[in-house]
């Protein structure tokens, strides 16, 4: 098969061995005589997958026992609701950092529930920078500080974490499982699956026990972290397929060197592209401040919009798709999540080099 | 392959041609060079699936233009929250019918949001009956009357619909797309996908425009029907895989005769089982009132719990799985959704006949 390099921002490329395993097992799962997507979520086949996904994720992250893992639906978008509904009910205060499109959505929902202080606002810099981690302070009495670890549209990523006296709540959707993180700083981490983990239709929430204990008791069932934690994410039927695939991705990562391995790969892929941008300073331009450039979503401009269009069209013809920047900012963007082979980034860098030589 | 007859209550059996199609297309979707589960939800491949799922469902149901179709996540369980949050915000009143486990959950959530009047309560009859449709009255000023069209655990199903002066809001999770329905009675229909429609991780909401207009404007984004309707269910990343499979199931149903066809099949399957129960009145017993027996979930008892265990074990060995009744009620249960071949129900009826002759 002619597999292309797919640089889409999410849903995005998955490890080929995982896709091939799913294909093989899809109709007759482990000789059960039915598909796993037809299996009862209380039966032995799915139970094994559910438990293995949780155990594998704990191993991959080195997660201490005082954190619960929840497998939910509704993506990070539903978490923009659930985080404040659980933690800010009754108008409690929290600090948010406004670092791009995703942070803006999280803030809009939190404001409907609690009292939000925006402690950093990148609007005037068009979200092309982040504050130094050491410059971020929490306000007195804040329940948590909310960060968006990586912004897929602006292409900014926190490379260091603020040291504040309150728990960090972090939307890690677009760089989850792409690097080691200092878990002790985080009270709650959430991530939509469809970048580094698995297919769309799944969100992972990792919540520390003391945060869970603070959660509202007044919520309707699905919106309550306590309900899901109390039932090991089986209060209702879980999204079987995305959890199955994510389990295979987690096994694949654990089997290949875990987070130190993916961290090295992310460094390699992003360096290939940022170096190529730097090599042609009169042709390519990355608008993002150097200290916070994303290793997941590399954004850059060409001298004209016409050249950007031509670049994207010719790259697609050469087997590299999904390179158009988000419609809200234009330009080019390469999303290079865990499953993008380094060869894909190398091929793109080579294409960029040739394109710049030809048109620069 | 040795495909068994899978009588699980949900997730449950899917049409084999659909599973085989998904398997074939899983790694390289329509020669795109990537899987559909790796494709951008704004790209051409997923857009075609999204549109076809909606158009196909509208055709299957004969849905008038004044209803919107929403593809959401969180199953029916999140709808237990979203229905009252959207329609009862500020403590507005609604009527609910307490007909079993699922209705009880819907009521518990609605009570946290609005003012709930329970107009039928089947608790004392252990949820083994439903009221006559003509006996159901709505209270003055109720925003809607909530029904659970089929209860998977008790095995009761509304065979006729109440005639009341308020819109019916209906949880159709377990008999959605299994029969024709008088759409004009319904203001809102919701259904988790994992019985008759597709894999777990998807809920369909069908909402009439006048109901949508009444929905709260104060909700956080994911919880708002108005937000999803305004973005054609693409406000956030949709659950691509379950929608893809559901689209194929919908095409399969439309291509084979639509709802009149599945209605006939449901009648055939359920008649085979209820007739066999009636044939051995001293051995099998269906505890459900005759006028409201479910055509989706047939429940029955044997003379002793030991015989029930033996029945379930021997049936499994004969290639018929998932026949254990729900742990809360015991006994036997056969879930016979759209994708269960009539041959499966016939094989089970034959097995029941032989088992009764041997042990009765």
The pLDDT tens digits of the residues spanning A51-74 come to 999 999 999 999 999 999 999 999
Is any Cβ of chain A less than 8 angstroms from the Cβ of B4?
Answer: yes
- A86 pLDDT exceeds 90? yes
In angstroms, what separates the C-alpha of A135 from chain B's closest C-alpha?
30
Task: Given the residues B68, B195, B295, B324, select the one marked as catalytic.
Answer: B195
B3 located within any domain:
no
Instruction: Examine the domain organization and report whether A328 and A243 are in the same domain.
Output: no
B248 within a domain of the structure (yes/no): yes
Tokens of residue B250, six digits: 């919908």
In this structure, the answer to whether residues B163 and B286 fall within a common structural domain is: no
Tell me whether A27 touches chain B (CB under 8 Å): yes
Cβ contact A235:A151 at 8 Å? no
Dihedral sign computed on CA atoms, order B348, B354, B355, B360: positive
Query: Is the Cβ pair A8, B39 closer than 8 Å?
Result: yes
Helix (H) or strand (E) holding B84: helix B75-87
Of these residues, B102, B158, B244, B300, which one is catalytic? B102
For residue A150, the surrounding DSSP H or E stretch is: strand A150-151
Question: Residue A213: left (phi > 0), alpha (psi -120 to 50), or beta?
Answer: alpha
Interface contact flag, A3 B28, Cβ < 8 Å: yes
Whose CA is closest to A265, among A341, A155, A160, A159?
Answer: A341
Distance from CA of A200 to the nearest CA of B (A): 5
Q: For residue A327, what is the nearest residue in chain B, using CA coordinates? A: B42
Residues A244 and A278 in one domain: no
Q: How many CB atoms lie within 10 A of CB A305?
A: 11
Is A78 in Cβ contact with B201 (below 8 Å)? no
List A residues 215-234 in contact with B (Cβ-Cβ < 8 A): 218-223
Contact B13 A199 (CB under 8 A): no
Question: Is the CB of residue B55 less than 8 Å away from at least one CB of chain A?
Answer: no
From the list B294, B313, B299, the residue with the least C-alpha distance to B359 is B313
DSSP 8-state code for residue A285:
B
Residue B190, strand partner residues: B171, B205
Give B282 to chain A, closest Cα distance, Å.
Answer: 31
Cα dihedral sign, A96-A101-A106-A108 = positive
A234 is written with which tokens?
Answer: 């089986």
CA distance A315 to A323: 8
Q: Which of B213, B237, B255 is the last residue of a domain?
A: B255
- Residue A333 in 3-state DSSP? strand
Asked if residue B110 lies in contact with residue B88, where contact means CB atoms within 8 angstroms, the answer is yes
- Return the SS3 of B90: coil
Residue A187 lies in a domain: yes
CB count, 10 Å around CB of A214? 18
Q: Which residue from A28, A202, A237 is facing B10, i.e. has the nearest CB?
A: A237
Minimal Cα distance from A240: which residue of B? B200
As a whole number of angstroms, the distance between CA B220 and CA B81 comes to: 13
Active-site option among A68, A95, A195, A324? A195
Q: Quick check: is B174 in a domain?
A: yes
Across chain B, what does the average pLDDT equal? 97
The C-alpha atoms of residue A321 and residue A314 are separated, in whole angstroms, by 10
Annotated catalytic residue A102? yes
CB-count exposure of residue B236 (10 Å: 0-12, 13-18, 19+): buried
The domain total for chain A is 2
How large a percentage of chain A has pLDDT more than 70? 100
| A18 band by pLDDT with thresholds 50, 70 and 90 | very high
- Residue A38 included in any domain: yes
Does the pLDDT of residue A89 top 60, yes or no?
yes
Closest CA of chain A from B135, distance in Å: 30
CB contact under 8 A, A75 and B236: yes
A221, B109: Cβ pair inside 8 Å? yes
pLDDT at B2: 87
Q: A39: which chain B residues are within 8 Å (Cβ-Cβ)?
A: 6, 8, 11
- Tell me the CATH number at B333: 3.90.1150.10
Q: Which helix (H) or strand (E) holds A83?
A: helix A75-87
CATH number for the domain spanning B161: value is 3.40.640.10
Write the pLDDT tens digit of every residue in A127-162.
Answer: 999 999 999 999 999 999 999 999 999 999 999 999
Q: Which of B155, B220, B66, A160 is nearest to B58 (CA)?
A: B66
pLDDT at B95 over 70: yes
B1: pLDDT strictly greater than 90? no
Per the structure, the complete domain to which residue B283 belongs is given by: 257-359
- Asked if the structure places residue A133 within a domain, the reply is yes
Average pLDDT over residues A284-309: 98
Number of helices (H), then strands (E), belonging to chain B: the values are 10, 13
Answer yes or no: do B81 and A223 touch at CB < 8 A: yes
Q: Do A89 and A128 have their domain in common?
A: yes
Mean pLDDT of B253-270: 98
Do A242 and A195 touch, CB atoms closer than 8 A?
no
By the CB < 8 Å criterion, does B51 face chain A?
A: no
In a domain, B1, yes or no: no
Map residue B195 onto helix, strand or coil: coil
B56 to chain A, any CB pair closer than 8 A? The answer is no
SS (H, E, C) A92-123: CEEEEEECCHHHHHHHHHHHCCCEEEEEEECC
Q: Which chain A residue has its CA at the smallest distance from B199's CA? A: A37
Q: Which helix (H) or strand (E) holds B334?
A: strand B332-335
Rounded-to-integer distance, Cα A99 and Cα A125, Å: 10
Task: Note whether A150 and A157 are within 8 A (CB).
Answer: yes
| CB-CB under 8 Å, B194 with A237 | yes
Instruction: Give the residue-averaged pLDDT of B276-292.
Output: 98
A154 touches chain B (CB under 8 A): no
Of A210, A237, A255, at which residue does a domain stop? A255
Using alpha carbons, select from B340, B299, B70 the residue that is nearest to residue B178: B340
What pairs with residue A300 in β-bridges?
Answer: A332
The H or E element that residue B3 is part of is: none
Are residue A247 and residue A261 in the same domain, yes or no? Answer: no
Q: Which residue has the tokens 């979707």?
A: B29
- Rounded to the nearest angstrom, the minimum Cα separation between A19 and chain B is 6
A175 touches chain B (CB under 8 A): no
Question: Within a 10 A sphere around the Cβ of B297, how many other Cβ atoms?
Answer: 29
Nearest CA in chain A to B36: A11
The predicted-structure confidence for B189-223, as pLDDT tens digits, reads as follows 999 999 999 999 999 999 999 999 999 999 999 99
Residues A212, A317 share a domain = no
Distance from CA of A39 to the nearest CA of B (A): 6
Residue A1: predicted pLDDT: 53
**A4 with B34: CB under 8 angstroms?**
yes
Q: Is the pLDDT at A45 greater than 80, yes or no?
A: yes
What 3-state class would DSSP assign to B275?
A: helix
- CA B117 to centroid of chain Cα atoms: 24
Would you state the structure tokens that stand for residue A224, as one six-digit string?
């309550």
Q: How far is CA B224 from CA A115, A225, A226, in A?
A: 21, 20, 22
A218 min Cα distance to partner chain B (Å): 7
Q: B155-180 burial, b if ≥16 CB within 10 A, otherwise e? A: bbbbeebbebebbbbbbbbbbbbbbe
- What's the number of CA atoms in the CB half-sphere (13 Å) around residue A247? 19
Choose the closest CB to B78 out of A40, A199, A222.
Answer: A222
Interface check for A239 against chain B (CB to CB < 8 A): the answer is yes
Distance of CA A263 to CAs A60, A122, A176, A266, B40, Å?
Answer: 12, 27, 11, 5, 24
Q: Using the predicted structure, report yes or no on whether residue B66 has a pLDDT greater than 60.
A: yes
Please report the ipTM that was assigned to this predicted complex. 0.98
Asked if B102 is an active-site residue, the reply is: yes
Which tokens sit at A252? 């694949």
Q: Both A231 and A329 in a single domain?
A: no
Q: A271 and A238: one domain?
A: no
Residue A70: which of A279, A285, A215 has the closest Cα?
A215
Q: Are residues A104 and A204 in the same domain?
A: yes
Three-state DSSP class for residue B210:
helix
Which pair of structure tokens corresponds to residue A35?
A: 């598909």
Q: Are A49 and A248 in contact (CB under 8 A)?
A: no
Q: Tell me, yes or no, whether B240 and B337 share the same domain.
A: no
Q: Is the pLDDT of residue B286 over 90?
A: yes
Collapsing DSSP to helix, strand or coil, A33 comes out as coil
Domain stop point among A229, A255, A281: A255
Say yes or no: B278 and B342 in one domain. yes
Mutate to test the interface with B, among A1, A9, A35, A84 (most CBs of B within 10 A): A35
B331 lies in some domain: yes
Note the pLDDT of residue B323.
98
Partner B contacted by A167 (CB < 8 A): no
Q: Which of B158, B171, B295, B300 is catalytic?
A: B171
Contact between chains at B27 and A73 (C-beta distance less than 8 A): no
Q: Which one of B1, B40, B45, B328 makes the best mutation probe of the A interface by having the most chain A beta carbons within 10 Å?
A: B40
Q: Which of A173, A28, A171, A285 is nearest to B4 (CA)?
A: A28
The reply to whether A267 and A227 lie within a common domain is no
Pairs of residues, one from chain A and one from chain B, whose beta carbons lie less than 8 Å apart: 220
Say whether residue A33 is in contact with chain B using an 8 A CB cutoff. yes
pLDDT in tens, B269-280: 999 999 999 999
For residue A76, give the chain B residue with the closest CA: B236
Residues 111-130 of A with CB under 8 A from B: 112-113
């Amino acid at each position: 098969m002619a597999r292309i390099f797919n640089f889409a921002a999410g849903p995005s490329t998955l490890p080929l061995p995982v896709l091939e395993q799913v294909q093989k097992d899809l109709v007759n799962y482990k000789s059960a005589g039915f598909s796993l997507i037809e299996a009862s979520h209380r039966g032995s086949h799915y139970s094994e997958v559910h438990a293995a996904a949780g155990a594998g994720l704990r191993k991959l992250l080195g997660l201490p026992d005082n954190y619960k893992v929840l497998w939910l639906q509704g993506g990070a978008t539903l978490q923009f609701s659930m985080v404040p509904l659980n933690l800010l009910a009754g108008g409690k205060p929290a600090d948010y950092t406004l670092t791009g499109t995703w942070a803006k959505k999280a803030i809009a929902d939190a404001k409907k529930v609690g009292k939000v202080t925006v402690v950093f606002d990148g609007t005037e810099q068009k979200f092309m920078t982040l504050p130094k981690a050491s410059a971020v302070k929490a306000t007195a009495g804040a329940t948590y500080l909310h960060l968006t670890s990586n912004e897929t549209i602006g292409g900014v990523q926190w490379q260091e974490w603020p040291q504040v006296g309150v728990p960090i709540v972090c939307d890690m959707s677009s760089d989850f499982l792409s690097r080691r993180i200092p878990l002790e700083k985080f009270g709650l981490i959430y991530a939509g699956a469809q970048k580094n983990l698995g297919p769309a239709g799944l969100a992972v929430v990792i919540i520390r026990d003391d945060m869970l204990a603070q959660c509202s008791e007044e919520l309707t069932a699905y919106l309550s972290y306590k309900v899901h934690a109390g039932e090991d994410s089986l209060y209702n039927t879980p999204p079987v397929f995305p959890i199955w695939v994510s389990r295979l991705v987690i096994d694949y990562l654990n089997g290949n060197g875990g987070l130190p391995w993916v961290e090295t790969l992310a460094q390699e892929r992003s360096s290939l592209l940022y170096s190529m941008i730097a090599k042609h300073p009169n042709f390519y331009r990355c608008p993002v401040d150097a200290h916070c450039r994303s290793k997941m979503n590399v954004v850059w401009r060409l001298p004209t919009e016409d050249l950007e269009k031509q670049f994207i069209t010719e790259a697609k013809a050469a087997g590299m798709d999904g390179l158009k920047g988000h419609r809200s900012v234009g330009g080019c963007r390469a999303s290079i999540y865990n499953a993008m082979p380094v060869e894909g980034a190398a091929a793109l860098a080579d294409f960029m080099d040739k394109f710049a030589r030809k048109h620069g």
